[in-house]
Amino acid sequence: MDMDAFNDDFKVTSKGKHKSYEIDYESLTQGAVEKLMQADIEHISGIFGVDENTASLLLRYMNWNKERLIEKYMDNAASVTSSAGISPLEPPTSQSQAPIRSSIEAFVCPICFDDSQTKTLCLSCDHTFCASCWIAYATSKIRDDQEMAIRCMAEGCSLVAPDLFVRSILEEDTTTWDRFRELVIRHFVASNPNLKYCPYPSCTHTVSCPSASSKSSLATVVPTVACGASATHKFCFGCPIDGDHRPVICGVAKMWLKKCRDDSETANWIKSNTKECSKCQSTIEKNGGCNHMTCKKCKHEFCWVCMGPWIEHGTAWYSCNRYDEKDGVDARDAQSKSRASLERYLHYYNRWANHEQSAKLSIELYSKTEKKMEEMQITSDLTWIEVQFMKKAVDEVEKCRMTLKWTYAMAYYLDKGNEKELFEDNQRDLERAVEDLSELLESPIEAENIPTLRQKVTDKTVYVQKRNEIVLEDTANGFLEGRWQWNCSVDGFD
Amino acid sequence: MDARRRRVMKEIADCKNDKSSNIRIDMIDDSPFHLNGSFPGPEDTPYQGGHFEVDIVIPPTYPFQPVKMKFITKVYHPNVSSASGAICLDILKDAWSPVLTLKSTLISLQSLLCSPEPNDPQDAEVAKHFTTSKGSFDDTARYWTQIYAVDPSARGKSSEKLQSAGDEVAMAGLEKAHVDQFEALGFERGKVIDALRRLNYRGANVANITEDRIVEELLK
């Protein structure tokens, strides 16, 4: 069996078709971004009739906003040029250190106090320092401070070194020069709402996704993107979540994560250790003593065991046998109502957390299985390709569990109604399929049963993939059609 | 000799030769990278007459990164932490320039004592004291100068008297009558001083804080 036929087993829809839960984006290398930047610089350089170094500094000063720069520059070119650190506020006076270059013997660098330096440098402000101080200074600014504006070292001087100058002093240190260029590019990317830097450590790719650049667009699309460096560099263009939070939109995902951070641990503890006062609903922890409780807040006296008023217990200390008393039932009803919202949250939270945990476990399981299968490949006559079907299945299970995980966050905030029921039906179908496949993956592997297991797993994987598509597609369409109703206010919805 | 060492040695030598500025920089042990700087408190301020010592650490990237300075002498000042001596001053952070020297930085610290910046405080409690009742703040700052910054030999016999128990109150910039009043209610003296200091029970502010509020703070 060749590789293509193997892949065909898992193919569900034809390639190239744009799915409603996917977004158009483009991954750019650092070089490509540099080209975009260069185009802006050349544009400004052409309009203003200045050299590219100057144009670049002007653009950086204005956070790469060309329109605003043009407007301000046309208004008062001199003031923009000096605030951008290109020309000195006042022209250098004649008594400055300018002539020192010609009489190098007399020059003592005011920073290192060295009089043996033969190479000195200065910007157009004529504040002269020795070359080695400039190098040390620029390196320290770039490497320690992540700073791309290398200002003149003189106190109070706001002149910024143009790229050509930085380049010349870092001639021998290409790593620092590369870092400098990266800082400039990062600034360019950060200033442009259509661009986002890949958040993975030491990755230098950028993603361009104009259709998710506005805040309002994030109410209808989930811009999950991946940079060109690696398919695992998946992130959300709209929010700082690393990874894929489809099918829920950024606003809901953010709300849910915040709720989980604030509540989960505390909620579990409250649920197992406290009860509410049957009169004022304050949460009470019983940390010892008898069952005769007196609420600190409303002074209501009640029995911890049956929650009824203490008055009905008379002198029956420590023995509560009044379970059926009407007041006790009422009190428990009131309490169960206030518990209901907590229970509801925990219902969704536990499932959310469970899918995350299960996804981790199936990956662990797979690494064990993989070893076994590779051993089998050596001991039996199975080919490499024939023992690889598990990998596909585990990947799919993990992917679907992530979808399922987020559907619980979505369901928590969805308003009751037909739409929610349909959503939960889709969720249930996917969940059931994923659980079945998960179970199959755990079945014992023997050389004899591999062909049947392979068939079963492959079939199930295709089915799971289909169910996942349905959930993603239907939810995405729902956002586009404005079908989802929330039970609280969500960013971007009225 | 590397550039950093040469520069620091020259700065120390320059400072020694300059008698007019009254600024001293001394080495601790033999390393020129951990120093002790000192200067007299500026005249016509509550710090007058004091002698302020500063701990100076020269980072490996000096002079391209700012020098690290903190007060060793306790100073009552909005931009200096009353507990650690940490200093809030722009030239020790972003506004640092490699042409600044240890001497010029110490002079800047000296002028910081003349002109506090309560809007950018290091010590919020002290800054609150400064903004609400300047007169009382000056008294406390002067008191701290007397206790911590005046050479014991110059202070003479008065030192014993100054460090007796009653001075805790003055050190916190509080009125003895106020402290006595709440101590009489059965609270520990130290606790009363802490609470009143936290609430900034000073000067005109006294009218804004009810006794109940103070008792509440004391019961915390």
SS (H, E, C) chain A: CCHHHHHHCCCCCCCCCCCCCCCCCEEECHHHHHHHHHHHHHHHHHHHCCCHHHHHHHHHHCCCCHHHHHHHHHHCHHHHHHHCCCCCCCCCCCCCCHHHHHCHHHCCCCCCCCCCCCCEECCCCCCCEEHHHHHHHHHHHHHHHCCCCCECCCCCCCCECCHHHHHHHCCCCHHHHHHHHHHHHHHHHHHCCCEEECCCCCCCCEEECHHHCCCHHHHCCCCEEECCCCCCCEEECCCCCCCCCCCCCHHHHHHHHHHHHHHHHHHHHHHHHEEECCCCCCEEECCCCCCEEECCCCCCEEECCCCCEHHHHCCCCCCCCCCCCHHHHHHHHHHHHHHHHHHHHHHHHHHHHHHHHHHHHHHHHHHHHHHHHHHHHHHCCCCCHHHCHHHHHHHHHHHHHHHHHHHHHHHHHECCCHHHHHHHHHHHHHHHHHHHHHHHHHCCCCCCCHHHHHHHHHHHHHHHHHHHHHHHHHHHHHHHHCCCCECCCCCCCC
Query: What is the C-alpha to C-alpha distance for residues A40 and A382, in angstroms, rounded to an integer?
Result: 58
CB-based contact, B208 to chain A, within 8 Å: no
Kindly report the nearest CA distance between residue B99 and chain A, in angstroms.
Answer: 6
Q: Which helix (H) or strand (E) holds B37?
A: strand B31-40
CB-based contact, B5 to chain A, within 8 Å: no
What is the Cα B163 distance to its own chain's centre? 18
The domains located in chain B, with CATH, are 3-114 (3.10.110.10), 124-219 (no CATH)
Q: Which of A84, A74, A87 is nearest to A47 (CA)?
A: A74
Q: A261 and A248 in contact (C-beta within 8 Å)?
A: no
Residue A182 lies in a domain: no
Beta carbons within 8 Å of A33's beta carbon, 6+ residues apart: A185, A188, A189, A195, A206
Would you say residue A14 has pLDDT above 60? Answer: no
Q: What is the pLDDT, as a whole number, of residue A334?
A: 67
Q: What CATH number is given to the structural domain containing A330?
A: 1.20.120.1750
Residue A411 lies in a domain: yes
* Confidence tier at A283 by pLDDT (50, 70, 90): confident
Strand partners for A121: A129
Could you tell me which residue, A89 or A341, shows the higher pLDDT?
A341
Q: State the residue for tokens 């329109």.
A: A67
CB atoms A153 and B99 under 8 Å? yes
Q: What is the pLDDT, as a whole number, of residue A12?
A: 40
Q: State the residue for tokens 């006296």.
A: A301
Q: B68 and B102 in contact (C-beta within 8 Å)?
A: no
Residue A87 lies in a domain: no
* Confidence tier at A303 by pLDDT (50, 70, 90): confident
Query: What is the C-alpha to C-alpha distance for residues A126 and A208, in angstroms, rounded to an integer?
Result: 42
Q: What is the pLDDT, as a whole number, of residue A323?
A: 54
Could you tell me which residue, A201 or A340, shows the higher pLDDT?
A201
Residue span of the structural domain in which A354 resides: 251-481
Residue A262 lies in a domain: yes
What is the Cα A269 distance to its own chain's centre? 29
Residue B218 has which token pair? 């004391």
Residue A280 lies in a domain: yes
Would you say residue A55 has pLDDT above 60? Answer: yes
Question: Which tens digits make up the pLDDT trace of A391-409?
Answer: 888 889 989 999 999 999 9
CB-based contact, B3 to chain A, within 8 Å: yes
CB-based contact, B98 to chain A, within 8 Å: yes
Residue of A152, A239, A280, A290 marked catalytic: A290
Would you say residue A104 has pLDDT above 60? Answer: no
Would you say residue A90 has pLDDT above 90? Answer: no
CB atoms B6 and A112 under 8 Å? yes
CB atoms A137 and B3 under 8 Å? no
Q: What is the DSSP letter of B213?
A: H
Spell out which residues of chain A touch residue B3, defining contact as CB-CB under 8 Å: 112, 114, 132-133, 136
What is the Cα A20 distance to its own chain's centre? 21
CB atoms B6 and A140 under 8 Å? no
Q: What is the pLDDT, as a whole number, of residue A494?
A: 59
Spell out which residues of chain B touch residue A140, defining contact as CB-CB under 8 Å: 61, 64-65
Q: What is the DSSP letter of B86?
A: B
Q: Compute the mean pLDDT over every residue in chain A, rounded to the nearest whole number.
A: 82
Residue A476 lies in a domain: yes
Q: Which of A345-349, A431-435, B56-60 has the lowest mean pLDDT?
A: A345-349
Beta carbons within 8 Å of A420's beta carbon, 6+ residues apart: A411, A414, A485
Residue A125 lies in a domain: no
Q: State the residue for tokens 């016999």.
A: B157
Q: What is the pLDDT, as a whole number, of residue A3?
A: 44
Would you say residue A322 has pLDDT above 60? Answer: no
Instruction: Using CB atoms, pick whichever of A132, A133, A140 lies closest to residue B65.
Output: A140
Q: Which residue of B has its CA nearest to A151?
A: B97
Instruction: Using CB atoms, pick whichever of B3, B63, B100 lies closest to residue A114.
Output: B3
CB-based contact, B63 to chain A, within 8 Å: yes
Query: What is the C-alpha to C-alpha distance for residues A280 and A36, in angstroms, rounded to an integer?
Result: 64
Kindly report the nearest CA distance between residue B91 and chain A, in angstroms.
Answer: 10
Residue A268 lies in a domain: yes
CB-based contact, B10 to chain A, within 8 Å: yes
**What percent of chain A has a predicted confidence (pLDDT) above 90?**
37
Q: What is the pLDDT, as a whole number, of residue A441?
A: 83
CB atoms A112 and B61 under 8 Å? no
Query: What is the C-alpha to C-alpha distance for residues B31 and B15, in angstroms, rounded to an integer?
Result: 17
Spell out which residues of chain A touch residue B64, defining contact as CB-CB under 8 Å: 136-137, 140-141
Question: Which tens digits make up the pLDDT trace of A452-478?
Answer: 888 898 999 999 999 999 999 999 999
Flag whether the ipTM exceeds 0.85. Answer: no
**CA distances (Å), origin A359, targets A346, A349, A356:** 20, 16, 5
Residue A389 has which token pair? 């079907």
Q: What is the pLDDT, as a whole number, of residue A49?
A: 92
Question: Which tens digits make up the pLDDT trace of B88-119?
Answer: 888 998 889 999 999 999 999 999 999 998 88
Residue A256 has which token pair? 């849910």
Whether cis (ω within 30° of 0) applies to the bond prior to A247 is yes
Q: What is the DSSP letter of B41?
A: P
Q: What is the pLDDT, as a whole number, of residue A150?
A: 92
Q: How many CB pairs under 8 A join A and B?
A: 39
* Confidence tier at A94 by pLDDT (50, 70, 90): very low
Residues A329-353 have a mean pLDDT of 79
Would you say residue A105 has pLDDT above 60? Answer: no
Helical H segments across B133-210, by residue range: 134-144, 152-155, 158-162, 167-171, 176-183, 189-199
Q: What is the pLDDT, as a whole number, of residue A135?
A: 93
* Confidence tier at A9 by pLDDT (50, 70, 90): very low
Residues A409-433 have a mean pLDDT of 92
Q: Is the dihedral of CA A294, A300, A306, A308 positive or negative?
A: positive
Q: Number of folded domains in chain A?
A: 1
Residue of B72, B88, B91, B107 marked catalytic: B88
Low-confidence ranges of chain B (pLDDT < 50): 157-162, 164-165
Could you tell me which residue, A355 or A316, shows the higher pLDDT?
A355
Q: Which helix (H) or strand (E) holds B127?
A: helix B124-132
Residues A209-236 have a mean pLDDT of 87
Residues A90-102 have a mean pLDDT of 47
* Confidence tier at A264 by pLDDT (50, 70, 90): low
Kindly report the nearest CA distance between residue B205 and chain A, in angstroms.
Answer: 33
Beta carbons within 8 Å of B52's beta carbon, 6+ residues apart: B38, B39, B40, B41, B71, B73, B75, B109, B110, B113, B149
Known active-site residue A303: no
Would you say residue A483 has pLDDT above 80? Answer: yes
